[in-house]
Amino acid sequence: MARLLIVDDDDDLVQILTLSLKSIGHEIASANDPTAGLQAARQFKPDLILLDYHMPGATGAHLFEAFRRNSATAKTPILFMSGEATPAQVLSEVCDTSLARFIPKPVKLEILQQAITEMLAGPPQH
């Protein structure tokens, strides 16, 4: 399975997602703030990043750009999660939407698993 990094300031959600995703075979690392998320990404080298869009200290768009500037995560797909923003709001603030997707909170595990599978398969071929 895949190496997934969860960056979210909601510790309960991180714990639930970690347990759920580990149970289906994914390797998980997590961080609860933007700075720790950037550090974890450099060390863990995830295949996919699950990123809370609204965290103290940075928006998801700022973190997306920081991940893009880092050679270790420049091409890593990012799955945004938010209970406050819409897909249109989130994706309009991101420069390269080919590596980004959005799911709403509260996160439904079936939708999350489907999004992870699709994102790891790569962008749609035209």
Cβ–Cβ < 8 Å for 76, 67: yes
Whether domain 3-121 has CATH 3.40.50.2300: the reply is yes
Burial 57-96 (b: 16+ CB within 10 A, else e): ebbbbebbebbbeeeebeebbbbbbbeebeeeebeebbee
Q: What are phi and psi of 53, to 5 degrees?
A: -80, -30
Cβ–Cβ < 8 Å for 111, 88: no
- Give the other-Cβ count within 10 Å of 109's Cβ: 12
Confidence band for 126, pLDDT divided at 50, 70 and 90:
very low
Segment 66-94 shows an average pLDDT of: 87
Segment 8-33 shows an average pLDDT of: 97
- What are the sequence ranges of the domains in the chain? 3-121
pTM of the predicted protein model: 0.91
pLDDT score recorded for residue 47: 98
Confidence band for 39, pLDDT divided at 50, 70 and 90:
very high
